Amino acid sequence: MKLTIITPDKLAYEGEVTAVTVPGSAGSFQILKDHAAIVSTLEDGKVSINTGTSEEVFQIKGGVVEAKDNIIIVLAEGIAES
């Protein structure tokens, strides 16, 4: 699957992933390969990215996620600085 995380300021992440967990408005949910098409609003929280060999976490400030045909796009309002 291809994941892209974009903020108004920059491209925060782009790459191949095996799983993504996002903070949906109705609770966190995970997107895996061949997930049904979905569009969801996101709350402030953690986006966990699993590449199969490593895990990365971004703290986002709300946004929207779209997943379709194994392409996932997260449009985040911002990313909290670590």
Assess whether pLDDT exceeds 70 at residue 10: yes
Res 26: pLDDT: 92
Distance separating the N- and C-terminal Cα atoms of the chain: 26
Please state whether beta strands 71-76 and 2-6 pair in parallel, antiparallel, or not at all (unpaired): parallel
pTM reported for the whole predicted model = 0.94
Model confidence over 53-62: pLDDT tens digits?
999 999 999 9
Averaged pLDDT of the chain = 96
Q: Pick from 42, 51, 46, 52: which is nearest to 74 by CA?
A: 42
In the chain the domains, ranked by start, together with CATH numbers, are 2-76 (2.60.15.10)
